[in-house]
Structure 1
Amino acid sequence: MDVEKVFHMSGGVGKTSYAQNSSLQKKASDMVKHITMETIQQLYNQVTPKSLGIADLGCSSGPNSLSLIKDIVEAVERSSHTMFRPVPEFRVFLNDLPTNDFNSVFMSLPDFYRDLKKDRNERCSCPAVYVAGYPGSFYGRLFPNNCLHFIYSSYSLHWLSKVPPGLYDEHGRSINRGGVYISESSPPRVSEAYRNQFREDFSLFLKSRSEEVVTGGRMVLITLGRIGQAHVDRGNSFFWEILSKCLAISVSQGEIEKEKLECYDVHFYAASRNEIEDEVRREGSFELQRMETFEIEKHVKGGDSYGTAVAMTVRAIQESMLYNHFGEGINLDALFGNYARIVDQEMAKQQINPITFLIVLKKL
């Protein structure tokens, strides 16, 4: 499976779109927004460029795509006024895979510019903000040398460049049959294959960005992870275990073929703090300035249960991959109805605690 050609968040603004089901990601970015703003202000105060290059890697679509850019522009604007310097121009590059729904992002640009102009008098001009789409995988070069000052990436780096090839035997059969991710029943080779793919991908990500970011530039990365060395926990891996159970239910009801389930694996990896720190140190282009661990609040607005919110989020993320692998005949309404029910049942027994890392890196 060519992930770059298939994987994308569900586009548009419909009920099952990512635009309508990314509130949990927004909540997480809001929880650490003060750190993101502090980082961009520190960068600007030290470098004071006349033209500030910013990239959002894995921007997806929907309201989250441009809301943070507005916050960044206003934070830099405040710093420039404090320093009695002219506000720089902003070169903003929105990156995601080519299959991303960039059109919905571009359609929201007029509202973005309108919001920037709000509450400004005639003497206070609006900063010049130039926004461009930049399709392509961030596991490799995307931008010219030394053109970026600040990189932001939220909930993207836990997606690997591909399903680890080490998951398949010499006949192309999965060694992780029945499970879509690392589980208690997975042979040791499964976790090893995922770990090796993460190391390869994250090292390439860092090396590529080191050539694109100016000396002293910053990266703020938000990614799912895990506590400790155990790959199986009641955190992010548990959500994949629930998806495996739901797909098994679909098999038992004759909706999908057992053979197809046995060869379905996700291109995801929840790295540990040590794995991230080790790779940053080994690659050597960036200084790890800060690394925080946090959890998203479980309260969900609007009357939906937590299980429903999680199920709709997972559906918006996995829909393209599920349709590609199992075919258009798969009943996703039933699948994620079961998913929501099981999440709520499990939450009634014991909390599920998926953790997120916030990482701040400085280019050496």
Structure 2
Amino acid sequence: MKVEQDLHMSRGDGETSYAANSRLQEKAILKTKPLLHKAVEEVHASLSLSSPGKMVVADLGCSSGPNTLLVISEVLGAVANHCEQSLADVQFFLNDVPGNDFNLIFQSLELFKKLTTKELGEALPPYYIVGLPGSFYTRLFPDRSVHLFHSSYCLMWRSKVPDELARGAVVNVGNMYIWETTPPLVVELYQKQFQEDFSQFLALRHSELVSGGQMVLTFLGRKNRDVLRGEVSYIWGLLAQALQSLFQDGRVEEEKLDTFNLPFYSPSVDEVKTVVRQSELFDISHIQLFESNWDPQDEMDGSDADVTTPDSVRSGVNVARSIRAGSSPSSLVISASV
């Protein structure tokens, strides 16, 4: 699997598209809204003291659909409502892999401009939006050129499947990710890949951020320290069982089944803290784990309030569509600064 070529969200805005099945990601953006606004305010304050004028914001792993524009809207709203001294302009860079549906974003910009102008009026700062295809595990910007990095529901994806698994030197029989029967060596390979990727990501972003720059990162994590009992592992385990059924029906070859592994890892809070601290590049101002309901259409999100008996079939369909869009309920949010 070539991650940059093969791994992207479903294009378009049809029934099975990411744009139509990204409610969980929307919830994550809304939950982290206060942190994003605070980061914008702090960046604006540093600009006012040093080089007032342009703010450069990059959304890494922006995907497509309404959530992409929601992030832009929140940043513009924070600038308009919380920053006393207006900016000359705000430059947005929307980054994702080349297979991302950038055209869907661009086709939505005219309507987005009308809506933001109506909402913010004269307080709306001039802004510019540019697409930037490429992996965020590579260099994307010149030195000291970005004021704020935002990334939501992306950093759980690895730059690649661990080499030993990709070559077939180590086999994760019956699994596509980490689950109860995964050998300890496979777990170690996934953990090592996460550590290497996240360390590389931090080093790249540190070079690209201006002094006083900010990052707000949200990605799928796990609340259980035991990696074999992670919440995301359960879902991928069910999908692996479905693939086993296809093999038993003769629709999937055994070799392909045993060598298919996801370029994915959902870390614990402690694992994230360890990598950040070892890098000695960023200060963590806030880190938190929050949960959402598996069913993105269920608004209870862990509430203890009395509810009617759910429609399990409908809920299952909602969860399946959400997984297809690349989502899961336990998320880590990190706010960090240079």
Mapped to 2, the partners of 1:161 and 1:119 lie a distance apart of 39
Mapped to 2, the partners of 1:117 and 1:274 lie a distance apart of 42
Native 8 Å contact 2:295 2:319 kept in 1: no
Mapped to 1, the partners of 2:157 and 2:215 lie a distance apart of 18
Matched, 1:5 2:1: no
Correspondence for 1:53: 56
Native 8 Å contact 1:232 1:238 kept in 2: no
Q: Which runs of 5+ in 2 are unaligned?
A: 299-310
Q: Which runs of 5+ in 1 are unaligned?
A: 319-352
Residues 252-289 of structure 1 show CA distances to partners (whole Å, capped at 9, x for unaligned) of 22322222111110000011111111111111111111
Correspondence for 2:316: 307
- CA-CA distance at 1:45 after TM superposition: 2.4
Q: Secondary structure at the match of 2:264?
A: coil
Correspondence for 2:161: 163
Task: Report the CA distance shift for 1:125/1:188 in structure 2 as closer, same or farther (over 3 A).
Answer: closer
Residues 93-131 of structure 1 show CA distances to partners (whole Å, capped at 9, x for unaligned) of 00000111111111111111111111466xx26421110
Q: Secondary structure at the match of 2:200?
A: helix
Sequence identity (%): 39
Mapped to 2, the partners of 1:263 and 1:64 lie a distance apart of 34
Native 8 Å contact 1:234 1:354 kept in 2: no
User: Counterpart amino acid of 2:141?
Assistant: F
Native 8 Å contact 1:148 1:217 kept in 2: yes
Q: Secondary structure at the match of 2:161?
A: coil
Q: TM-score with structure 2 length normalisation?
A: 0.90
Deviates more, 1:183-192 or 1:33-42: 33-42
**Number of residues of Structure 1 aligned to a counterpart in Structure 2:** 322
Residues 303-358 of structure 1 show CA distances to partners (whole Å, capped at 9, x for unaligned) of 7733222211222349xxxxxxxxxxxxxxxxxxxxxxxxxxxxxxxxxx942111
Native 8 Å contact 2:86 2:125 kept in 1: no
RMSD (Å), alpha carbons: 2.0
Aligned match for 2:177, one of 169, 174, 181: 181
Summarize the alignment of residues 58-207 of structure 1 with structure 2, pairs less than 5 Å apart. Answer: 58-80=61-83, 83=84, 85-119=85-119, 124=122, 126-167=124-165, 172-207=168-203
Native 8 Å contact 1:195 1:269 kept in 2: yes
Correspondence for 1:348: none
Deviates more, 1:125-134 or 1:286-295: 125-134
Correspondence for 2:210: 214
Q: Secondary structure at the match of 1:103?
A: helix
Correspondence for 1:35: 35
Q: Secondary structure at the match of 2:255?
A: helix
Correspondence for 2:333: 358
Q: TM-score with structure 1 length normalisation?
A: 0.84
User: Counterpart amino acid of 2:19?
Assistant: A
Deviates more, 1:112-121 or 1:286-295: 112-121
Matched, 1:236 2:232: yes
